Each structure stands twice: as structure tokens, then as C-alpha cells.
Structure 1
Amino acid sequence: MVRIRVVEETLADYYRNEQEMRTPVHFSIGQEATAVGVCAATTPQDWVYTSHRSHAPYLAKGGDLQALVAELYGRQDGCAHGRGGSMHLIAPEVGFAGSAAILGEMISVAVGTGWAFSRGGEKRVAVTYFGDGATEEGVFAESLNLAAVHRIPVVFVCENNLYSSCSPLSARQPAGTSIHGRAEAAGVRSAQVDGNDVFAVHAAAREAVAHARDGGGPCLLELATYRWREHVGPKWDADYGYRSQEEIDSWLVRCPILRATAALREREPDIATAVADWRRQFEEETREAVARAKALPFPPVEGLLDGTYLPLAQ
């Protein structure tokens, strides 16, 4: 969690001050426990898909930091060869199967992957991350239904940070309903978890992954969390008018790193010193990755159409 926090904070500073990363960025600063707690419950053979807020799960699953930074700078050595940017990361070698920008897009892809695992007799699980806004897309309901009917080994991970861009959950979904409740109504085993408690997230994820892997069918985890920065971009956004500084402050004190540090203090008296050392180590690691990325070449012009669909020659 400390590594993800430092990487994103450092990249946010570069993004804002230099304007050299020509890609939209969606940071997970404040939401690190959802990425770490769930991904730590998977194996490299389990596939993870995410939406546009992809840096944290990518790193938590074991994705290469240098490839991530190079991708943000549009370099050929990036994980998507400089063509995808922040919202299209991929690291299949560690089971990070991909991310995409279209709301809810990867939900159905993960369900299809899990179904392929099941039909092939493989003890593997597909995991899909999405925000609360994606649960209002038709693909969410359709995917829950298909996964439940066929007992597909997929874990749906909803990072409920209360906002879809700038629209609060209370203005979008009926009072008295819940995301995990809708999943239960579709026949999908569900749990609502404190998404800023990495130990609670990990325990719930281990149970969900084991349930899916052993043939029990799909599970949904609704993880209550909160992004600190703006929906897209590196800045703080209390002055935008859709949420107050008081609300943001109330979540800052629930920081997942501070809470994990406090929980470990009795067993690990030097944990605060370790966290400070990690912060310095990871900041240097990130700055080195940025320096290396800037020295890398851009994709060659002659390869501009590589990977695209072209009409057959007449």
C-alpha cells in the first residue's frame, strides 16, 4: 500500500508540474487497501481486470513499475507499447489481464474468462474491479445473471467511493438499496466490507476467491472506500463544489495506511519507522523509473498501425 501511495503521489507531482504525460490519469490515492487486499488473495494464474482506475491493482498484482511509467510517458517500452496510456495497462505474465476506459466494459470480459476457466476444468478465478457508477450499466446486471446461472468462478469487486465522476451515489441510486443487495437478489453471494481496512478486505477476498475456485460460483465484494484526488487528474478538488473539504477530511483520517500501521504497532513497535523508510525508498524508485522512461524512444511512426484492424487489400 505504501508503494502504491508513493508511486501515485510522485507521478501526480510530475503530471501536474511538467505536463509531459499526455494521457488522462485516474489515481487511487486513498483506495490502496482495495487493490492490495484483493490481489494478495489471488495467484499469478488468476486473471484480474480493471476499469480506468488501474494503477493500484496493476502494481498490487505484480505489474512492472518501469513498464507502467513508460506507458504513461507514451514510450515504446511501456506495457502497452506506449499506445494505451494510463487506462489501458496490461501485464499477463503476472495475471493482470488488462484495463479499459469504457464504464463497465471489463465486467463481462472477466465473466467470459471465468467461464472459459470453468469449461476447461481449470481451478482459476477471474476478478473484475469497477466503481459504483458501473453498477448502473446494463452489463452489470447481465453479468451477474450469467455468472449466477452457470456458477462461474468470478469475483466482482466494487470499489464504492460514493461518486461516479462528480455525481454522488445518493443522487443516482434509490434510497434503501445497496449494490451488494442487488447482487444477492441476482443469486450472487455478496459481502459489504470496510474497503479502507486492508485486513478485512483480504479476509473477505480470500473467502470469495476460495468459494469461486472450489466451484461455489461467483461472489461480489462491495468495498466502501474514498478517492482523495479528483476523479481524473492529479489535483485536489474540494473547490469544484460537488463535495466539501469537511467530507474529504473525514475520509483522510480513515487512511488505509495509517489504519494498518496502527493495527500493527503492538506487534511491530518499529512499524512507523519502517513506513517512513519505505516512503523514501519508493520515492527514489519512482523518480528513477521516470528518468529512465524519459530516455526511452517513442513508438516508431512506421509501426503506427500495428495491432489495428485494416480492410483486406482489394
Structure 2
Amino acid sequence: MAATRKDGAAVTELSGPAQHGVELYRRMLVVRRFEEAVQSLFQKGEVHGTTHLYVGEEAGAVGVADVLRPHDRVAGTYRGHGHALALGVDPQALLDEMLGRETGVCGGRAGSMNVIDLGNRLIGCFGIIGGSISAATGAALALRQQGDGVAVAFFGEGTTNHGYFHECLNFAAVLRLPVLFVCENNRYGEFTPFEDVTAGEIAARPQTLGIPTETVDGMDVWAVREAAEAAVERARAGEGPQFIQSMTYRFVGHSRSDPGRYRKPGELEEWKQRDPLKVAREKLAAAFGVDGAVVDGVDAEVEAQFEAIVERSLAAPYPDPVRDAAREFAPTTS
């Protein structure tokens, strides 16, 4: 990867860990710009229904997705745009989907919360609390029978108080399934601080079932990646389910109707000092010697990319209910 400074001076070409680090930054930035585009389009009436944005949590999905293989499977949440993009879902097709266009990844029929892209290992995003855990546990059972692959479930900390959580973790532990459970603890279950409704430590729950558990800084993509790599390899090696608690924070409300007034004074500003993009920029410079001009170039490139993506999405056609009726049903075989 080569770059040029604004003053025209050449920047050293990157390779190895530095180049990989810049790519991790780029993936997080794509998620951030996508969510900002969705929010802007929603406010203009172009996105219908509701939206749950992943702004602030980008390091979690990108860090985990980076260690997965083609045969692995992932189940995301209703805050799943970040999960989808981290897995490689085309941002153009995903934004088209948000706008209900026929060129969307699901033909404009999934909307914001129910995206599926099996070609990119995404078995679904689930609006039902805990649905991702159930789906990933089932996928892990199938993958073990096939002899290859690890399943991953993303879910929020509020899910740990639901039946899906306890039943699926117990089932996975008993059968030693190859599944990684990733709890994205963003501190709030919708509008309620998680400590107000959750007794004890979340990490203690999987530990009582004998599931190896690690709590990581969910604002640091390298910390998430390191923990995920070790956990996925253990699961792949037949050591049973694994659990990661990613301590993170969303910079926006729970959904479109939430202004976030329940936050403690100064809390949001404090967490923004640990913005995953800011953390990554600082680490790229300090640990890998990446010139700021390289990162600035990535910023400009992704910004231009999304200007074009938004323009194309707005021009894309809607599905025709008559012409495309067959897409609503599974193909008939004789």
C-alpha cells in the first residue's frame, strides 16, 4: 500500500502488520460511514421502519470477523449492519437493502434487522432478543456434523437475562459444540443501565458451565482480534464453546426514537475518547509507524466511496411485486 502526503512527498509503502492494521481501520471506517449514511437517509425519509446503529462498536465485529474462515457461520443482532459489513457483505448491496431496492442483498425485502447473506457466512441478523444465540448454536451442531467450521453468535448484554442465553450455552457446553459466543456489552439494554437489571458478573455465567471466558476492551480492534483468534482456534480444535465479553459503547441511541437522555452527564464524551477509530489511528502511529497521511488517504477514499454508494442506492429501482413475485417463494422442483 502506497500513499502520498498532501504536500506531495512520498510515504513509505506498507506491508505485514502495518498494512493489516490499516486494513482493519478501513473496515471499521466503512462500518462507521455506512451507519452515518443510513442515519442521514433515514432522517430524509428514505429508510423506512426502524434502525439500530453500530456506531462506536465497530472494533467488535471487525476484530472477530478477521479471524474467521470461509466455512464458518455468523449470526448477528438487530444492530447487525456492522456484523454484515465486517464479514464482507457489499456495502452497496446492503445500503440498497436498507432503502428497499431490488438490488439489495435480500432483494429489498429484509430491511434493517433481518439481513441474510450466506455467501458471506451470515446466517442472519435477528430482531428477536437471543435469536442469534439459538441460530449459531444450531449452526455449530451442523458444522460439527460436517466436520468443519465454527459458528459465532453476537448479542448484547441484555440477552444474558433471557432464556435463550442459558439454554443454548448449556446445550453447547454439554455437546462441546464449536461455537463462539460474543457478548457486546455496550452498557445499556435499550434505555436501562445493565447493572440496574443484571445481578453479578456476566462473565461468571458461562464460567459456571465450564466455558472459557475472556473480557476484552471492545474499543480496541487488536484486543478483540487477539481474543477471538485464540477462542476460535480452541473451538475449531474440538475444545467446545468459547465466550468473549467485549466491553464497548454505542455513541447513538438504541434506535431512531432514542435521543439517549438517560446517559450520565459527560459519559458519552468520555467514551468518545476511546472511539475505535481514534484508538486505531493512535496505535497505527505508535506501534506500527504508519504515517498519518496513509490514514488520511483511507478516510478520503472511503468518504468518496460512500458518496457514490448513496447516489447509486437512491437511483436503484424498487422491486416489482408482479414481476418479482417468484422471489417470495422457494423454487418449485418437479
Please, what TM-score do these two structures have when normalized by structure 2? Answer: 0.86
Match of 1:201 in 2: 224
2:107 maps to which of 69, 81, 85 = 81
Summarize the alignment of residues 293-304 of structure 1 with structure 2, pairs less than 5 Å apart.
Answer: 293-302=313-322, 303=324
Q: Does 2:307 align with 1:287?
A: yes
Give structure 2 stretches of 5+ with no counterpart. 1-27
Match of 1:130 in 2: 155
Q: In structure 1, how many angstroms separate the alpha carbons of the residues matched to 2:208 and 2:230?
A: 20
Amino acid at match of 1:181: A
Q: Does the 8 Å contact 2:38/2:98 carry over to 1?
A: no
2:203 maps to which of 180, 184, 205 = 180
Summarize the alignment of residues 1-314 of structure 1 with structure 2, pairs less than 5 Å apart.
Answer: 1-16=28-43, 18-122=44-148, 124-174=149-199, 177-233=200-256, 237-238=259-260, 240=261, 242-302=262-322, 303=324, 306-307=327-328
Q: In structure 2, how many angstroms separate the alpha carbons of the residues matched to 1:3 and 1:245?
A: 30
Amino acid at match of 2:151: A
Deviation at 1:139, TM superposition (A): 0.6
Deviation at 1:301, TM superposition (A): 1.8
- SS of 1:179's partner is coil
Q: In structure 2, how many angstroms separate the alpha carbons of the residues matched to 1:203 and 1:196?
A: 13
Q: In structure 2, how many angstroms separate the alpha carbons of the residues matched to 1:100 and 1:229?
A: 20
Taking only aligned residues, the RMSD between alpha carbons, in angstroms, comes to 1.7
Deviation at 1:27, TM superposition (A): 1.0
Q: Does the 8 Å contact 1:27/1:234 carry over to 2?
A: no
Amino acid at match of 1:10: A
Amino acid at match of 1:279: D
- SS of 1:223's partner is strand
Q: In structure 2, how many angstroms separate the alpha carbons of the residues matched to 1:300 and 1:307?
A: 11
Identity, % of aligned pairs? 36
Q: In structure 2, how many angstroms separate the alpha carbons of the residues matched to 1:198 and 1:271?
A: 19
Q: In structure 2, how many angstroms separate the alpha carbons of the residues matched to 1:304 and 1:166?
A: 40
Amino acid at match of 1:254: R
Deviation at 1:269, TM superposition (A): 4.1
Q: Does the 8 Å contact 1:10/1:283 carry over to 2?
A: no
Q: In structure 1, how many angstroms separate the alpha carbons of the residues matched to 2:302 and 2:112?
A: 20
The number of equivalent residue pairs is 302
Q: In structure 2, how many angstroms separate the alpha carbons of the residues matched to 1:280 and 1:7?
A: 14
Deviation at 1:305, TM superposition (A): 7.9
Deviation at 1:97, TM superposition (A): 1.8
Q: In structure 1, how many angstroms separate the alpha carbons of the residues matched to 2:327 and 2:285?
A: 52
Please, what TM-score do these two structures have when normalized by structure 1? Answer: 0.91
Q: In structure 2, how many angstroms separate the alpha carbons of the residues matched to 1:305 and 1:106?
A: 28
- SS of 1:265's partner is helix
- SS of 2:328's partner is coil
Q: In structure 2, how many angstroms separate the alpha carbons of the residues matched to 1:270 and 1:206?
A: 24
